Structure 1
C-alpha cells in the first residue's frame, strides 16, 4: 500500500492564527485539492492527521469540523480522487492526551486502520510538531513551505527532513518517482 499522511491546516488549506472556525473559512491552498486527487488516481491512499484544539477551546463544534472534512472530501471527489481516513485531536495543548502532535497517537491510529508500519512513510506538515511526530515513529518528515512552513524552515529541522514548496510539489515527486 502506498500511504501518504498529511497535516491539514497549512498543508491542504490556508491556516489562521485565529483558527479555521467555519466551512467558509476553510479555504484550500491553490493546487492542494488537485494534488490529493492526482495522488489518489496514481494509487496513493491519502490520510489526514490534524490537531483541532479549536474544539476544546469552544471555537467550533464537531458538526462544523465534520462539515469542513465533508467539503474536503467533496472537492477531492470532484477532481476524481478520494481522501482516506481523517483523524483529529480535539484536545487543548494542556490536556495531556496521546494524540496531539507532536505526540504520535494519530499516526498510530492511521497505521492500525490500514494495517501498515509507519517506518519510512511520508508525513507532510508545516510545523515543527508535525515533523517531530513523524520522527517519533520513524516516518519520513516532509515540510511544505505553505502555512507555517517558512517560519518552521528557519528552525533546526529533524535530520533528513525533506522540504517542498507545497503539496503539489510533493505529489509530483511521489507520482513521478
Structure 2
C-alpha cells in the first residue's frame, strides 16, 4: 500500500518486470495453470524484502487490452503470486500495470502511445510519487529493451535479465542486498 506519510525515510526499490523476470514468458500469462516462476525469483523478492527494499512490479499487460483476459483475471493471478511469495517469506509492495495497446479491441485501453506502457516511464514515475523511494539507490530488472528504456526515462538504473536463475544473476552482477 503506498504511503501517505511524506516524512518517511526514503528506501531503495527493486522494480521488476513480470513476464520474463518473475515468471516464464509464455505469451499472455493470465491463468495460474500457465504460470511458472523463474528460478530464484521468489528467493530474490524475499532477500530484497529482508534488506528493507520496496519491491514493485511494473508490467505491460496488453493481453487485457486485446481482450485475451480481464483485469480481474490478472488481479487473481497476482493474488496467487502473493500467496506463493508469502510462503517463501516475500511480498510485492505494489503492482503497476499498463493494459493499453494501440490496437486494443476495448476502447478504454486503446491508445497510440500511453504514458504508462513501456518503454514510457509512467508506471515507474507513479511508483516514485506514491512510495518513499530513493531513486538513485533503486534499479529495474527487465528482460526487454523497452524495460530498460522506461527505467532510463524515469531516471532509474536498468539491468537486462537474459534468463536463468534470477537470484544467481543478481548475485553475479553484485546487486543482491
Q: TM-score, normalised by structure 1?
A: 0.82
In 1, the alpha carbon distance for the partners of 2:73 and 2:48 equals: 27
**Aligned with residue 9 of structure 1, among 19, 42, 46:** 19
Residue 40 of structure 1: aligned partner: 49
Assess if the C-alpha contact under 8 Å between 2:12 and 2:135 holds in 1: no
Assess if the C-alpha contact under 8 Å between 1:46 and 1:83 holds in 2: yes
In 1, the alpha carbon distance for the partners of 2:14 and 2:30 equals: 26
Aligned length: 157
Residue 168 of structure 1: aligned partner: 167
Assess if the C-alpha contact under 8 Å between 1:144 and 1:166 holds in 2: no
In 2, the alpha carbon distance for the partners of 1:66 and 1:81 equals: 18
Q: How far off is 1:112 after superposition?
A: 0.8
Partner-residue secondary structure (3-state), 1:141: strand
In 2, the alpha carbon distance for the partners of 1:61 and 1:43 equals: 33
Structure 1 unmatched ranges of 5 or more: 147-164
Partner-residue secondary structure (3-state), 1:48: strand
Assess if the C-alpha contact under 8 Å between 1:123 and 1:142 holds in 2: yes
Residue 103 of structure 1: aligned partner: 120
**For 1:113-152, what aligned pairs fall within 5 Å after superposition?**
113-116=130-133, 118-119=135-136, 121-146=138-163
Select the structure with the greater relative contact order (CA < 8 A; seq sep ≥ 6): 2
In 2, the alpha carbon distance for the partners of 1:83 and 1:171 equals: 18
Q: How far off is 1:48 after superposition?
A: 0.5
Gap change, CA 1:51 and 1:120, over 3 Å in 2? same
Structure 2 unmatched ranges of 5 or more: 1-10, 104-110
Gap change, CA 1:166 and 1:132, over 3 Å in 2? farther
Partner-residue secondary structure (3-state), 2:25: coil
* Cα offsets for 1:20-48 (capped at 9, x unmatched): 13121121112111111122112221110
RMSD, aligned α-carbons: 1.7
